[in-house]
Amino acid sequence: MSLNCKDLLGLEHLDKKDLQTILGSVKLFKSLFTRSVKKVPTLVGKTVVILFYEPSTRTRTSFEIAAKRLSADVVNVTVSTSSIVKGECLIDTGKTLEAMKADYIIVRHSLAGAPAILARNLSASIINAGDGFHEHPTQGLLDLYTMYEKKKKLERLKVLLVGDILHSRVAKSNIWALTKMGAQVAVSGPPTLIPAGIEDLGVKVYYDLDEAVKQVDVVNILRIQLERQKENLFPSVYEYVELYQLTKERLRSAKKDVLIMHPGPMNRGIEISSDVADSSNAVINEQVTNGIAVRMAVLYLLNPKRKNESSN
Amino acid sequence: MSLQIKNIRIVDPSCNKDFVGDIYIENGKIVSSLSSKADKIVDGKGKIAVPGLIDVHSHLREPGQEGKETIYTGTRSAAKGGITTVFCMPNTKPLIDNAPTVEFILLKAQKEGLINVFPVGCATKGSFGQELSEIGVLKKAGIVAVSDDGAPVSNSQIMRRTLEYTKMFNLPVISHSEDKELSKNGVMNEGRNSTILGLRGIPKQAEEIMVSRDIMLAELTGGYLHIAHISTSGSVELVRQAKKKGVKVTAETCPHYFTLTDDVVKVYDANTKMNPPLREQKDVDAIKQGLADGTIDAIATDHAPHTQDEKNQEFDLAPFGIIGFETMLSLVLNELVDKKILSFSEAISKMTSNPAEIFNLNGRGSLEQGSIADITIIDPQYSYEFNKESIVSKSKNSPFLGRQFKGGAVMTIVDGNIVWQSS
């Protein structure tokens, strides 16, 4: 069982069968977590480089743990954002890592398409750990898995994404994965944070959050970057909280067993109230646990192709 | 030096002629017969002679950015594409906002260039959009138009003054129409594809607002407005309506705007990044319609060379622009003539007689007796693949790499001299 591709750049490029394959593997890897020895020898002798051009704790740690549980050798490389413009160019950095025989390069970058450019220029497997406003495929997969695990189905599942859809790579990956699996996806946020042509992706748009939460099965809340206010995308944090904070009050019209998700890190008291974040409907910490299993599955299922590799 | 081209199909849109015959050239001019035996005779059987192509929008990068292109390499690239005259935009380093830079370019072109190079001067000093440049002095030095091109004049008062002041010199004002606030940080067309790719979009309105404003200012002042590289259906319609009203406005587009849509951006290839950006199918269709009904007068390349290193990086970081000299004619033939959008003669007029008329290039854009002997010889059967190895330009940033073409220039004649021919 494997995916027929070298890289994971986005969920746009996967089909339903691929997604089902991944979900199946995640379940297997997750079952390891309750054992006393959580490690398997799947990637012994393989080198995984985690190349992050943006600060991240959660995703980087998650990938590192995933790779280590598969017995890979893991190297962390953090590049400060300022050197994107000034320092060594992306392709040269990639080629340097390849010369060190990295089998997998997991890349996070503030600019969309950076992993695609690496994938085009290198033979190592490239895994996109979030690129600009493009995609964050492993987050999309862990959200998908968490919904599937909790709701036992994805077909016709009603999922609402709330907040800054325009700048959210998480939203994009969620939309691709969920629509491919037959879920009904809606987004809610101010018109200034809804990207052009989003309806073409099979998504319903609600400006009114109270209207949007009615009868939904899952609410996935996105982090709002406070600096968006300076771009006049919303007038003030106060007003954003008034209109888009997910509160207990607002959730009354949702289903009783509505699932509350957040990719983290949360701005408590801004996009989500603490009582919602800490409620029994919230599965935010389970998302983190599932993230490791998802990343193990992805590392396991991709097919790194190495030029001139001697047989082993 | 005299030259005779025998048995060639002669298509001259400037006087609506299309016949098979001979062309005679003496002392750099087209004549009705030679005073003595021709120094050189070229057999034109199966080929087509048209007035030398005029490209009113290009960037030759010299002075200041010779790593991308020089007058030497750029004019050779243009000659290979059948182009005999190029306008070079003023965003060089230093900018073409002073007479010595105009003189430098003209001198350099005379010394090292292969074809005619006509500089476009800055509309405002430093292209800052604050003070008019010394347009009279620049005109005397040799500019053929003014423009701040990629740094368009945002202040409407300054644009009004530019359109007004240039009237006395009969100099067209070329507008790169872009509302810089609306397009800020954008790197591709705003729409479904920018959403999917996660790239910041440039709405069509960023272009159309300025097309609209500049048309209104042309109407107010009676100045001569030429809209550069229009890319949207809305812009086409604005120019169409303005022409109906009698406003002195002309427009150009580029081959990529009638050939490609933003679907080709898909793999983050920065060779698909230019400004204005590639739009959608309905815009491509509208551009073709605008060319067919005469709303769009001219086709230009917006040849904008950048090095491979600059282009082979993150899409956001790569500069805007693609090269165009070596593909313009073949794209016009394959996308417009072969697809019956324009007749052959109409298509040629957009690159010859029309730009010559708009920019008052007396004696060019025509094969009539007495004209300057700038001639492009086209072989309609010439098939080739456009690839990196064949590119003469110093830069290789084209979205058309790997494309098959049928029909192209096989000989370029400037001032009666054969400056390039296919081997």
Q: Please list every residue in chain A whose beta carbon sits closer than 8 Å to the beta carbon of residue B309.
A: 89
Q: Cβ of B199 and A112 within 8 Å?
A: yes
- Residue B308 DSSP SS3: helix
Q: What is the pLDDT of residues A251-277, one digit of tens each?
A: 998 999 999 999 999 999 999 999 999
Could you give all domains of chain A from N- to C-terminal order, each with its CATH number?
11-134+291-301 (3.40.50.1370), 137-288 (3.40.50.1370)
How many whole angstroms separate alpha carbon A291 and alpha carbon A149? 13
Residue B249 lies in a domain: yes
Check if the beta carbon of residue B400 is closer than 8 Å to that of residue B254: no
Residue B96 lies in a domain: yes
> What percentage of chain B reaches a pLDDT higher than 70?
100
Residue B40 lies in a domain: no
Interacting residues of A288 by C-beta distance below 8 A, sequence separation 6+:
A58, A62, A264
Where residue B189 sits, what CATH number does that domain have? 3.20.20.140
Interacting residues of A69 by C-beta distance below 8 A, sequence separation 6+:
A32, A38, A39, A40, A292, A296
**Per annotation, catalytic residue among B97, B283, B302, B374:** B302
How many whole angstroms separate alpha carbon A76 and alpha carbon B294? 60
Residue B321 lies in a domain: yes
Long-range Cβ contacts of B387-392 (<8 Å, 24+ apart): B390/B326, B391/B77, B391/B323, B391/B326, B392/B73, B392/B76, B392/B77, B392/B80, B392/B326
Check if the beta carbon of residue A7 is closer than 8 Å to that of residue A115: yes
Check if the beta carbon of residue B237 is closer than 8 Å to that of residue B208: no
For residue A169, give both structure tokens. Answer: 């790579």
Residue B279's domain spans which residues? 52-366
- Report the pLDDT value the prediction gives residue A81, as an integer from 0 to 100: 61
Check if the beta carbon of residue B266 is closer than 8 Å to that of residue B290: no
- Report the pLDDT value the prediction gives residue B423, as an integer from 0 to 100: 81
Q: Which of A85-99, B365-379, B396-410 has the lowest mean pLDDT?
A: A85-99
Nearest to A196 among B191, B312, B315 (CB): B191
The overall average pLDDT reported for chain B is: 97
Residue B119 lies in a domain: yes
Q: Cβ of B314 and A111 within 8 Å?
A: yes
> What percentage of chain A reaches a pLDDT higher than 90?
86
Q: What is the pLDDT of residues B328-342, one digit of tens each?
A: 999 999 999 999 999
Q: Cβ of B195 and A112 within 8 Å?
A: no
For residue B274, give both structure tokens. Answer: 């230019």
Burial class (CB in 10 A: 0-12, 13-18, 19+), B125: middle
Counting the structural domains of chain B, the total is 1
Q: Please list every residue in chain A whose beta carbon sits closer than 8 Å to the beta carbon of residue B316.
A: 111-113, 132
Average pLDDT over residues A9-25: 96
Supply the angle between the helices B71-80 and B99-112 in degrees, to the nearest 10.
60
- Report the pLDDT value the prediction gives residue A99, as an integer from 0 to 100: 94
- Report the pLDDT value the prediction gives residue A97, as an integer from 0 to 100: 93
Query: Residue A227 — very low, low, confident or very high, per pLDDT cuts 50/70/90?
Result: confident
Q: Please list every residue in chain B whose beta carbon sits closer than 8 Å to the beta carbon of residue A118.
A: none
Q: Give A111 to chain B, closest Cα distance, Å.
A: 7
Phi, psi at residue B121, to the nearest 5°?
Answer: -95, 160
Query: From A165, which residue of chain B is nearest by alpha-carbon distance?
Result: B195
For residue B10, give both structure tokens. Answer: 């002669």
For residue B68, give both structure tokens. Answer: 């991308």
Chain B touched by A205 (CB under 8 Å): no
Check if the beta carbon of residue B262 is closer than 8 Å to that of residue B277: yes
* CA distances from residue B373 to B23, B258, B364, B411 in whole angstroms, order as listed: 10, 30, 8, 13
Q: Give B316 to chain A, closest Cα distance, Å.
A: 7
Residue B7 lies in a domain: no
Check if the beta carbon of residue B377 is closer than 8 Å to that of residue B44: yes
Q: Which of A140-149, A298-307, B373-382, B405-414 has the lowest mean pLDDT?
A: A298-307
Q: What is the pLDDT of residues B244-254, one digit of tens each?
A: 999 999 999 99
- Report the pLDDT value the prediction gives residue A309, as an integer from 0 to 100: 40
Query: Residue A306 — very low, low, confident or very high, per pLDDT cuts 50/70/90?
Result: very low
- Report the pLDDT value the prediction gives residue A311, as an integer from 0 to 100: 35
For residue A152, give both structure tokens. Answer: 């036992």
Chain B touched by A169 (CB under 8 Å): yes
Residue B270 lies in a domain: yes
| DSSP states along A181-248 | TT-EEEEES-GGGS-TTGGGGTEEEES-HHHHTTT-SEEEEPPPPGGGGGGTSSS-HHHHHHHH-B-T
Interacting residues of A259 by C-beta distance below 8 A, sequence separation 6+:
A146, A147, A150, A151, A217, A218, A219, A281, A283
| Catalytic residue flag (residue B302) | yes
Chain B touched by A6 (CB under 8 Å): no
The distance of Cα B272 from the centroid of its chain, to the nearest Å, equals 18
How many whole angstroms separate alpha carbon B25 and alpha carbon B370? 10
Buried b (16+ CB within 10 A) or exposed e, B126-161: ebbbeebbbbeebbebebbbbbbbbbbbeeeebbbb
Query: From A169, which residue of chain B is nearest by alpha-carbon distance?
Result: B198
Q: Give B193 to chain A, closest Cα distance, Å.
A: 8
Residue B383 lies in a domain: no
Check if the beta carbon of residue B121 is closer than 8 Å to that of residue B135: yes
Query: What residue type is assigned to position A40 of the chain?
Result: V
Q: Which of A77, A117, A123, A84 is nearest to A104 (CA)?
A: A123
How many whole angstroms separate alpha carbon B269 and alpha carbon B146? 32
ipTM > 0.85 for the complex: yes
Q: Quickly tell me which residue has 């400004």 as its tokens.
A: B275
What does the angle CA B371 – CA B372 – CA B376 come to, to the nearest 5 degrees?
105
- Residue A302 DSSP SS3: coil
* CA distances from residue A12 to A8, A135, A162, A261, B187 in whole angstroms, order as listed: 10, 9, 20, 22, 21
Average pLDDT over residues A104-109: 97
